[in-house]
A and B are shown apart, each in its own frame.
Chain A
């Protein structure tokens, strides 16, 4: 039985991970070698492929663009979600109705909104800016973000809030010194979710930016295919360079990312 389990795991690893190894090996070959000896180790390791990419493409710049968008959209999304979740700890008129309004977007395939988003971002004057993209990401992810943070806050005992009021703290004081400090697992989960979503996104980034200065990593990868179509190994090298920082950061934080992704969801 145990053997069978390991066979399954290894088989799965092979299918999903061998392509990465193949890509890395191929990125050191010449175009000719790629076709003639697809599995062999490179005859001569073509470091030049990497040099070519690094001298012609500002990949670190794209990486910073993506990082900026991920951080800004996450900050906006999590702050808004936390504020509104706090409001829902109180009772007020039409509470269920308000909740429905701010979360119904979860069920909307937002790719249907490319025309309105394009014009909204234009009207706001944020077309072809990183902030415009971040704003849209925050908006699109907000309903799910609210649901994550609110579910967590719902588990906080109401007595804490009441006690804080008895101690003389008002609505704002109670939020900052009582609720906020114990809500961070929910906020962490929402943040990780938002960062991964923002990091991955291609459609809106392609739609809302145009110049090379605002290109995100994903948009850049999209263009690798056409830019390097004459020399595939160079395209592979570009790809390796584009994903290495992500892999390094992930391998340093993977435990935190995976546990944080679900920390706020399970109580």
Chain B
């Protein structure tokens, strides 16, 4: 079936794609080659903005930190989500209620969680340091968010812990697994942990992939936690790409530099997605099922 009329259905989405993706992409490319404060005329500077970026310490830190975020999403957040999904998948009493509870932070909003954990990790009135004090581990107390050597990791804690969304994606795929597998395993005398590891985990491989992709994309855009918890500091130690782009545009009025960094984020995203997709495909080939 073909019909000219169906183009009517295609056009609105296409228009949006032009306005919100194709034009912006071209615009970013263009502005990244200019020196511009957003008000007066542009001044073509070629690749100077990129040269500036690669000599800028804050930008380097932003790139490295964004990589840390992606690693935390892949190696901590996703496995934790899987672990919790496995725990709930064994259907303990009230598991539905627990699922609701663990998903709650995802609707409360990242900004609110960032605000909350800013205080939880606060040096003097924070919950963490006061708890340590309470159990006699006062020497472990740290200025978590204002120590340059750990500010970036401290600002990741709420992201790593609030795994509601990741968990729900895992649980959904787990619910499609046929019960027969577990019944057969039970007859063979397998323990629950063995079933988890040998049946459930291999069968939710595509959910692992989806979650890693989602979380990588999320970490590339991560903005709320660094902005509210550390402001990128101290001394730019916890800055990331989003915050760098935002700061160059809003506070420094260097639109050219901001968009050169934006372009670098897109390049970085493309490379990261390439790696993720590549390794997912590789792991599929290695263990055919």
A9-B87, A115-B249 as given contacts; A172 in contact with B1, CB under 8 Å:
no
A9-B87, A203-B242, A258-B168 as given contacts; A102 in contact with B13, CB under 8 Å:
yes
List of A residues within 8 angstroms of B108 by Cβ = 243, 246-247
A239 at the binding interface (Cβ < 8 Å): yes
Of the 9-residue stretches B138-146, B179-187, B221-229, B281-289, which lies at the interface with chain A? B221-229
B135 CB to closest chain A CB (Å) equals 11
A16 touches B258 (CB 8 A): no
Q: List 9 A-B contacts (CB under 8 A).
A: A22-B120, A34-B125, A35-B124, A91-B1, A102-B14, A112-B28, A114-B249, A246-B107, A262-B169
Residues on A lying within 8 angstroms of B by beta carbon are 1-2, 5-6, 8-9, 12-13, 15-20, 22-23, 26, 34-35, 38-39, 79-81, 83-84, 86-87, 90-92, 98, 101-102, 104-120, 136, 138-140, 142-143, 146, 161-162, 165, 170-172, 175, 196, 199-200, 202-203, 207, 217-218, 221-222, 224-225, 232, 236, 239, 242-243, 246-247, 250-251, 254-255, 257-258, 261-262, 265-266
Contact partner of B117 (CB less than 8 A), chosen from A19, A119, A218, is: A19
A92 touches B31 (CB 8 A): no
B176 at the binding interface (Cβ < 8 Å): yes
B259 CB to closest chain A CB (Å) equals 5
Interface size class of B (residues with CB under 8 A): 35 or more
Contact partner of A111 (CB less than 8 A), chosen from B23, B25, B245, is: B245
A16-B162, A83-B12, A84-B12 as given contacts; A217 in contact with B109, CB under 8 Å:
yes
Main secondary structure of the interface of B (DSSP, over half): helix
In the bound complex, how far is the Cα of B7 from the Cα of A120, in angstroms?
A: 25
List of A residues within 8 angstroms of B217 by Cβ = 106-107, 109
A107 touches B12 (CB 8 A): no
A139 touches B265 (CB 8 A): no
A83 touches B111 (CB 8 A): no
List of B residues within 8 angstroms of A247 by Cβ = 104, 107-108
Main secondary structure of the interface of A (DSSP, over half): helix
A107 to B, closest residue via Cβ: B273
B124 touches A250 (CB 8 A): no
Contact partner of A104 (CB less than 8 A), chosen from B21, B125, B261, is: B21
A92 to B, closest residue via Cβ: B2
List of A residues within 8 angstroms of B98 by Cβ = 9, 13
Contact partner of A225 (CB less than 8 A), chosen from B19, B24, B118, B255, is: B118
A262 to B, closest residue via Cβ: B172
List of A residues within 8 angstroms of B250 by Cβ = 207
List of B residues within 8 angstroms of A107 by Cβ = 217, 269-270, 273
List of B residues within 8 angstroms of A266 by Cβ = 172-173, 175-176
Most A CB contacts (10 A, CB to CB) among B22, B125, B193 go to B125
Contact partner of B224 (CB less than 8 A), chosen from A79, A105, A202, is: A202
